[in-house]
């Protein structure tokens, strides 16, 4: 069969990217699953169309794809990051954009990924845009992303409670987060715990195709 005769499905491309990211950093795989589910829950409560919700779902799954380009020493560091390491970590938004920019079908997704760490007050990255200038999809993912980060175990700290996660998100309305998104986020508060429990059952059954320890970049050269 000629390559010209092959039809590539969008799901296949997304799954390939996610598997690649999973091999690079298994935590990011499970994090992206939860962020995607939370983002869809918020977007659904905001009465987005099915097409818009699917776009948000894809973007949320791929929002951290740029971490493929971040050094292991930064991704897996247990202590406080240095200024240089923070710059390396923050580069993942632009790296993700550049990866997706090469694929025509991700032309709308790439912008959402680029701006998912912008802040409502304009103090975010990489472009310091603010308020309504930030794509609404990016503003939704920002809330879901932060909530999951707060309520998940990380190498440098244990998970906080859902109650504390909601407190922190609401505390930063109008500076870090879009107040309108937070309004709808609060409306689905009662559904979040059950949703994340369901996602966790799926993640537990998941096995990476390639173990992180098998990748040459994570091994000490003798």
Residues 9-54: pLDDT tens digits? 777 788 778 777 777 666 777 888 899 999 999 999 999 999 999 9
What is the predicted pLDDT for the residue at 171? 96
- State residue 217's pLDDT score: 35
Task: Say if 207 falls within a structural domain.
Answer: yes
Alpha-carbon distance values, 59 to 11, 129, 172, 215 (Å)? 13, 19, 23, 26
Residue 6 lies in a domain: no
Q: What is the CATH number of the domain that holds 85?
A: 1.10.3210.10
156-166 core/surface letters (b: 16 or more CB in 10 A; e: else): eeeeeeeeebb
In-domain check, residue 4: no
Say if residue 163's pLDDT is above 60.
Answer: yes
Query: Where is 35: in which H helix or E strand?
Result: helix 26-45
Indicate the average pLDDT of the chain: 84
Burial 1-24 (b: 16+ CB within 10 A, else e): eeeeeeeeeeeeebeebbeebbbb
- DSSP class of residue 170 equals H
Lowest mean pLDDT among 71-85, 139-153, 173-187: 71-85
Residue 203 has what pLDDT? 65
Rounded Cα distance, 184 and 198, in Å: 21
Would you state the pLDDT for residue 214?
35
Express the helix, strand and coil content of the chain in percent, nearest 5 each.
65, 0, 30
For 79-133, how does the pLDDT look when each residue is reduced to its tens digit (9 = 90+)? 888 999 999 999 999 999 999 998 888 999 999 999 999 999 999 999 999 999 9
147, HSE (Cβ side, Cα atoms, 13 Å): 29
Are the CB atoms for 127 and 118 separated by under 8 Å? Answer: yes
| Residue 159 within any structural domain of the chain | yes
What pLDDT band is residue 75 in, cutting at 50, 70 and 90?
Answer: confident
Q: Is residue 98 part of a domain?
A: yes
Check: CB of residue 90 under 8 Å from CB of residue 127: no
- 164 three-class SS: helix
Give the list of residues 6+ apart from residue 124 with CB closer than 8 angstroms, or none.
117, 118, 176
Span 174-200, average pLDDT: 93
Instruction: Please give the model's pTM, rounded to 2 decimal places.
Output: 0.85
- Look up tokens 């508060």; give the residue: 189
State the pLDDT confidence band at 155, using cuts at 50, 70 and 90: low
For residue 184, count other CB atoms closer than 10 A to its CB: 18
Q: State the pLDDT at residue 177.
A: 97
Whether 69 shows a pLDDT value over 80: the answer reads yes
pLDDT band at 66 (very low <50, low <70, confident <90, very high): very high
Domain that holds residue 197: 11-218
Q: Check pLDDT > 70 for residue 205.
A: no
How far from 135 is each of 15, 118, 178, CA to CA, in Å? 25, 10, 11
The partner residues of 173 in beta bridges, in order of sequence, read 177
Total domain count, the chain: 1
The pLDDT score that the predictor gives to residue 211 is: 39
């Amino acid at each position: 069969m000629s390559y010209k005769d092959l039809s590539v499905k969008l799901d296949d491309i997304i799954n390939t990217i996610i598997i690649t990211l999973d091999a690079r950093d298994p935590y990011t795989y499970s994090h992206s699953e939860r962020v995607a589910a939370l983002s869809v829950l918020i977007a659904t409560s905001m009465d987005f169309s099915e097409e818009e919700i699917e776009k948000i779902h894809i973007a949320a799954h791929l929002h951290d794809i740029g971490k493929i380009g971040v050094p292991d020493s930064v991704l897996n560091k247990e202590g406080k990051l240095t200024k240089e390491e923070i710059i390396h970590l923050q580069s993942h938004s632009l790296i993700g954009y550049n990866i997706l920019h090469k694929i025509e079908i991700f032309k709308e997704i790439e912008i959402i990924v680029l701006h998912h760490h912008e802040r409502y007050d304009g103090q975010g990255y990489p472009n310091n845009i603010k308020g309504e200038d930030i794509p609404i999809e990016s503003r939704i993912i920002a809330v879901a992303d932060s909530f999951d980060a707060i309520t998940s175990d990380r190498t440098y700290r244990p998970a906080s409670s859902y109650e504390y996660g909601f407190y922190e998100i609401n505390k930063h309305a109008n500076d870090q987060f879009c107040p309108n998104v937070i309004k709808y986020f609060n409306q689905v508060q009662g559904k979040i715990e059950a949703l994340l429990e369901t996602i966790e059952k799926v993640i537990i059954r998941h096995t990476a195709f390639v173990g992180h320890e098998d990748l040459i970049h994570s091994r000490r050269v003798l």
